[in-house]
Structure 1
Amino acid sequence: MAIPNPYKTYKENTVTQASPAELTLMLYNGALKFIKLAKQGIEEQNIELKNTNIQKTQSIIQELMVTLNTDVEISNNLMRMYDFMFRQLVEANVKNDAKLLDEVEGFLVEFRDTWKEMIQQSRKGVQNGQA
Protein backbone atom coordinates (compact mmCIF):
# COMPACT_ATOMS: atom_id res chain seq x y z
CA MET A 1 0.00 0.00 0.00
CA ALA A 2 1.43 3.35 -1.07
CA ILE A 3 1.57 6.19 1.41
CA PRO A 4 -0.01 9.35 0.00
CA ASN A 5 2.33 12.26 -0.55
CA PRO A 6 1.17 14.98 1.88
CA TYR A 7 2.69 17.80 -0.21
CA LYS A 8 0.86 16.61 -3.32
CA THR A 9 -2.39 16.34 -1.34
CA TYR A 10 -1.90 19.85 0.04
CA LYS A 11 -1.29 21.28 -3.44
CA GLU A 12 -4.34 19.55 -4.87
CA ASN A 13 -6.53 20.80 -2.01
CA THR A 14 -5.19 24.33 -2.41
CA VAL A 15 -6.17 24.40 -6.06
CA THR A 16 -9.53 22.68 -5.71
CA GLN A 17 -10.59 24.93 -2.82
CA ALA A 18 -9.34 28.22 -4.31
CA SER A 19 -11.69 30.88 -5.61
CA PRO A 20 -11.43 31.93 -9.28
CA ALA A 21 -9.60 35.08 -8.15
CA GLU A 22 -7.10 33.02 -6.16
CA LEU A 23 -6.59 30.67 -9.12
CA THR A 24 -5.75 33.66 -11.32
CA LEU A 25 -3.24 34.81 -8.73
CA MET A 26 -1.71 31.32 -8.76
CA LEU A 27 -1.40 31.52 -12.55
CA TYR A 28 0.45 34.83 -12.33
CA ASN A 29 2.78 33.44 -9.66
CA GLY A 30 3.41 30.31 -11.73
CA ALA A 31 4.22 32.36 -14.82
CA LEU A 32 6.71 34.43 -12.83
CA LYS A 33 8.34 31.28 -11.45
CA PHE A 34 8.71 29.80 -14.95
CA ILE A 35 10.15 33.04 -16.38
CA LYS A 36 12.83 33.01 -13.67
CA LEU A 37 13.69 29.42 -14.58
CA ALA A 38 13.77 30.31 -18.29
CA LYS A 39 16.18 33.18 -17.58
CA GLN A 40 18.32 30.77 -15.59
CA GLY A 41 18.31 28.48 -18.63
CA ILE A 42 19.54 31.31 -20.85
CA GLU A 43 22.28 32.24 -18.35
CA GLU A 44 23.43 28.63 -18.09
CA GLN A 45 23.02 28.03 -21.83
CA ASN A 46 20.63 25.22 -20.94
CA ILE A 47 18.32 25.24 -23.95
CA GLU A 48 15.99 22.59 -22.54
CA LEU A 49 15.45 24.49 -19.26
CA LYS A 50 14.84 27.73 -21.15
CA ASN A 51 12.50 26.21 -23.73
CA THR A 52 10.45 24.14 -21.27
CA ASN A 53 9.85 27.07 -18.94
CA ILE A 54 9.06 29.57 -21.68
CA GLN A 55 6.51 27.08 -23.01
CA LYS A 56 5.00 26.72 -19.53
CA THR A 57 4.74 30.50 -19.28
CA GLN A 58 3.11 30.61 -22.72
CA SER A 59 0.57 28.00 -21.60
CA ILE A 60 -0.33 30.14 -18.59
CA ILE A 61 -0.70 33.24 -20.77
CA GLN A 62 -2.99 31.25 -23.07
CA GLU A 63 -5.07 30.14 -20.09
CA LEU A 64 -5.37 33.75 -18.94
CA MET A 65 -6.50 34.70 -22.45
CA VAL A 66 -9.10 31.94 -22.65
CA THR A 67 -10.62 32.78 -19.28
CA LEU A 68 -11.10 36.50 -19.98
CA ASN A 69 -14.68 37.72 -19.76
CA THR A 70 -14.96 39.44 -23.13
CA ASP A 71 -18.19 41.20 -22.10
CA VAL A 72 -16.12 43.54 -19.91
CA GLU A 73 -14.41 46.49 -21.63
CA ILE A 74 -11.04 46.06 -19.90
CA SER A 75 -10.81 42.50 -21.20
CA ASN A 76 -10.01 43.76 -24.71
CA ASN A 77 -7.02 45.67 -23.34
CA LEU A 78 -5.89 42.68 -21.29
CA MET A 79 -6.22 40.43 -24.35
CA ARG A 80 -3.91 42.72 -26.32
CA MET A 81 -1.39 42.76 -23.47
CA TYR A 82 -1.50 38.98 -23.10
CA ASP A 83 -1.06 38.60 -26.87
CA PHE A 84 1.92 40.97 -26.77
CA MET A 85 3.50 39.03 -23.90
CA PHE A 86 2.92 35.73 -25.71
CA ARG A 87 4.67 37.05 -28.83
CA GLN A 88 7.55 38.39 -26.70
CA LEU A 89 7.94 34.94 -25.16
CA VAL A 90 8.13 33.33 -28.61
CA GLU A 91 10.78 35.82 -29.67
CA ALA A 92 12.72 35.39 -26.41
CA ASN A 93 12.75 31.65 -26.97
CA VAL A 94 13.98 31.93 -30.55
CA LYS A 95 16.62 34.58 -29.80
CA ASN A 96 17.65 33.44 -26.29
CA ASP A 97 16.91 37.00 -25.18
CA ALA A 98 16.64 37.46 -21.41
CA LYS A 99 15.74 41.15 -21.88
CA LEU A 100 12.48 40.14 -23.55
CA LEU A 101 11.79 37.86 -20.61
CA ASP A 102 12.51 40.77 -18.25
CA GLU A 103 9.92 42.84 -20.12
CA VAL A 104 7.25 40.14 -19.84
CA GLU A 105 8.18 39.58 -16.21
CA GLY A 106 7.65 43.29 -15.50
CA PHE A 107 4.13 43.19 -16.93
CA LEU A 108 3.30 40.00 -15.04
CA VAL A 109 4.53 41.48 -11.75
CA GLU A 110 2.29 44.50 -12.29
CA PHE A 111 -0.71 42.33 -13.16
CA ARG A 112 -0.06 40.01 -10.24
CA ASP A 113 0.35 42.84 -7.75
CA THR A 114 -2.80 44.58 -9.00
CA TRP A 115 -4.75 41.31 -8.84
CA LYS A 116 -3.47 40.63 -5.32
CA GLU A 117 -4.52 44.13 -4.22
CA MET A 118 -7.97 43.58 -5.73
CA ILE A 119 -8.37 40.34 -3.77
CA GLN A 120 -7.28 42.05 -0.55
CA GLN A 121 -9.67 44.97 -1.10
CA SER A 122 -12.50 42.54 -1.86
CA ARG A 123 -11.82 40.65 1.38
CA LYS A 124 -11.76 43.90 3.35
CA GLY A 125 -15.12 44.84 1.84
CA VAL A 126 -16.59 41.49 2.84
CA GLN A 127 -15.20 41.80 6.35
CA ASN A 128 -16.69 45.29 6.67
CA GLY A 129 -20.10 44.04 5.58
CA GLN A 130 -19.93 45.37 2.03
CA ALA A 131 -20.68 43.14 -0.91
Structure 2
Amino acid sequence: MTAPNLRNRYLDDSISTASPAKLLLMLYDRLVLDLMQGEEALRNGKREEAHQRITHAQDIILELRTTLHVDAWDGAPGLANLYGFLLTELIGANIARSPERVAACRDLIEPLRDAWREAALAAG
Protein backbone atom coordinates (compact mmCIF):
# COMPACT_ATOMS: atom_id res chain seq x y z
CA MET A 1 0.00 0.00 0.00
CA THR A 2 1.38 3.43 -0.91
CA ALA A 3 1.94 6.24 1.57
CA PRO A 4 -1.02 8.33 0.28
CA ASN A 5 -3.28 5.28 0.53
CA LEU A 6 -2.14 4.62 4.09
CA ARG A 7 -2.74 8.25 5.00
CA ASN A 8 -6.24 8.17 3.51
CA ARG A 9 -7.04 4.95 5.34
CA TYR A 10 -5.79 6.44 8.62
CA LEU A 11 -7.92 9.55 8.09
CA ASP A 12 -10.99 7.49 7.22
CA ASP A 13 -10.49 5.32 10.31
CA SER A 14 -9.96 8.39 12.50
CA ILE A 15 -13.19 9.95 11.29
CA SER A 16 -15.29 6.81 11.45
CA THR A 17 -14.25 6.03 15.03
CA ALA A 18 -14.33 9.57 16.43
CA SER A 19 -16.94 10.65 18.95
CA PRO A 20 -19.36 13.43 17.96
CA ALA A 21 -17.39 15.88 20.13
CA LYS A 22 -14.12 14.85 18.47
CA LEU A 23 -15.69 15.21 15.01
CA LEU A 24 -16.87 18.70 15.88
CA LEU A 25 -13.38 19.66 17.03
CA MET A 26 -11.87 18.18 13.88
CA LEU A 27 -14.20 20.34 11.78
CA TYR A 28 -13.37 23.46 13.76
CA ASP A 29 -9.62 22.75 13.59
CA ARG A 30 -9.80 22.29 9.82
CA LEU A 31 -11.93 25.42 9.50
CA VAL A 32 -9.33 27.49 11.34
CA LEU A 33 -6.56 25.95 9.20
CA ASP A 34 -8.45 26.76 5.98
CA LEU A 35 -9.00 30.34 7.11
CA MET A 36 -5.35 30.79 8.05
CA GLN A 37 -4.16 29.35 4.75
CA GLY A 38 -6.74 31.29 2.76
CA GLU A 39 -5.73 34.54 4.42
CA GLU A 40 -2.05 33.83 3.81
CA ALA A 41 -2.67 32.91 0.17
CA LEU A 42 -4.55 36.18 -0.38
CA ARG A 43 -1.72 38.14 1.20
CA ASN A 44 0.73 36.38 -1.13
CA GLY A 45 -1.33 36.89 -4.28
CA LYS A 46 -2.12 33.18 -4.67
CA ARG A 47 -5.71 33.69 -5.81
CA GLU A 48 -6.56 30.09 -6.77
CA GLU A 49 -5.19 28.62 -3.54
CA ALA A 50 -7.03 31.27 -1.52
CA HIS A 51 -10.27 30.49 -3.36
CA GLN A 52 -9.90 26.76 -2.65
CA ARG A 53 -9.24 27.30 1.06
CA ILE A 54 -12.01 29.84 1.52
CA THR A 55 -14.60 27.75 -0.32
CA HIS A 56 -13.59 24.70 1.74
CA ALA A 57 -14.07 26.82 4.88
CA GLN A 58 -17.52 27.76 3.57
CA ASP A 59 -18.32 24.06 3.07
CA ILE A 60 -17.37 23.34 6.68
CA ILE A 61 -19.48 26.22 8.00
CA LEU A 62 -22.40 25.04 5.89
CA GLU A 63 -22.01 21.54 7.35
CA LEU A 64 -21.87 22.96 10.88
CA ARG A 65 -24.97 25.04 10.17
CA THR A 66 -27.03 22.24 8.62
CA THR A 67 -26.21 19.77 11.39
CA LEU A 68 -26.92 22.26 14.19
CA HIS A 69 -30.05 21.38 16.13
CA VAL A 70 -31.47 24.85 16.78
CA ASP A 71 -33.98 23.45 19.29
CA ALA A 72 -31.32 21.70 21.37
CA TRP A 73 -30.21 24.66 23.51
CA ASP A 74 -30.84 28.36 23.96
CA GLY A 75 -27.65 29.47 22.22
CA ALA A 76 -28.20 27.42 19.07
CA PRO A 77 -30.23 30.04 17.12
CA GLY A 78 -27.52 32.63 17.77
CA LEU A 79 -24.86 30.19 16.61
CA ALA A 80 -26.90 29.48 13.48
CA ASN A 81 -27.04 33.22 12.80
CA LEU A 82 -23.29 33.49 13.31
CA TYR A 83 -22.72 30.69 10.81
CA GLY A 84 -24.91 32.55 8.31
CA PHE A 85 -22.96 35.74 8.87
CA LEU A 86 -19.65 33.91 8.42
CA LEU A 87 -20.81 32.36 5.15
CA THR A 88 -21.83 35.76 3.81
CA GLU A 89 -18.61 37.35 5.00
CA LEU A 90 -16.41 34.65 3.45
CA ILE A 91 -18.20 34.92 0.13
CA GLY A 92 -17.57 38.66 0.21
CA ALA A 93 -13.95 38.17 1.29
CA ASN A 94 -13.36 35.75 -1.56
CA ILE A 95 -14.88 38.10 -4.15
CA ALA A 96 -13.07 41.16 -2.78
CA ARG A 97 -9.86 39.21 -2.21
CA SER A 98 -9.75 40.60 1.31
CA PRO A 99 -7.39 38.85 3.74
CA GLU A 100 -8.65 41.19 6.47
CA ARG A 101 -12.20 39.87 6.17
CA VAL A 102 -10.93 36.28 6.28
CA ALA A 103 -8.89 37.13 9.39
CA ALA A 104 -11.97 38.68 11.01
CA CYS A 105 -13.88 35.44 10.42
CA ARG A 106 -11.03 33.45 11.93
CA ASP A 107 -11.08 35.77 14.94
CA LEU A 108 -14.73 34.80 15.48
CA ILE A 109 -14.17 31.07 14.97
CA GLU A 110 -11.10 30.49 17.14
CA PRO A 111 -12.81 31.28 20.48
CA LEU A 112 -15.71 29.01 19.49
CA ARG A 113 -13.32 26.19 18.70
CA ASP A 114 -11.56 26.70 22.02
CA ALA A 115 -14.88 26.71 23.90
CA TRP A 116 -16.00 23.49 22.22
CA ARG A 117 -12.65 21.92 23.07
CA GLU A 118 -13.04 22.88 26.74
CA ALA A 119 -16.59 21.54 26.79
CA ALA A 120 -15.47 18.24 25.26
CA LEU A 121 -12.69 17.88 27.81
CA ALA A 122 -15.05 18.66 30.67
CA ALA A 123 -17.60 16.12 29.41
CA GLY A 124 -15.23 13.29 28.85
Provide the TM-score with structure 2 as the length reference.
0.93
Q: C-alpha distance in 1, partners of 2:62/2:54?
A: 12
Larger Rg computed on CA atoms: 1
1:12 partner amino acid: D
Q: Aligned residue for 2:112?
A: 111
Q: C-alpha distance in 1, partners of 2:19/2:112?
A: 18
- Report runs of 4+ in structure 1 exceeding 6 Å deviation: none
Higher relative contact order (CA 8 A, sep 6+): 2
Cα displacement (A) at 1:32: 0.8
Cα displacement (A) at 1:40: 1.9
- CA deviations on 1:25-82 (whole Å, 9 max, x unpaired) are 1110111111111112211211101111110000000000001012122110000111
Q: C-alpha distance in 1, partners of 2:46/2:9?
A: 31
Gaps of 5+ in 1: 124-131
Cα displacement (A) at 1:6: 2.4
Q: C-alpha distance in 2, partners of 1:114/1:96?
A: 29
Q: C-alpha distance in 2, partners of 1:96/1:70?
A: 32
Q: How many residues align?
A: 121
Cα RMSD of the aligned pairs, angstroms, is 1.1
Q: C-alpha distance in 1, partners of 2:10/2:50?
A: 28
Q: Is residue 67 of structure 1 aligned with residue 67 of structure 2?
A: yes
On the 8 A contact 2:36/2:103 being kept in 1, the answer is no
Q: Aligned residue for 1:86?
A: 87
The share of aligned pairs that are identical, in percent, is: 26
Which deviates further from its counterpart, 5-14 or 85-94? Answer: 5-14
Provide the TM-score with structure 1 as the length reference.
0.88
Q: Aligned residue for 2:123?
A: 122
On the 8 A contact 2:40/2:99 being kept in 1, the answer is no
Q: Aligned residue for 2:55?
A: 55
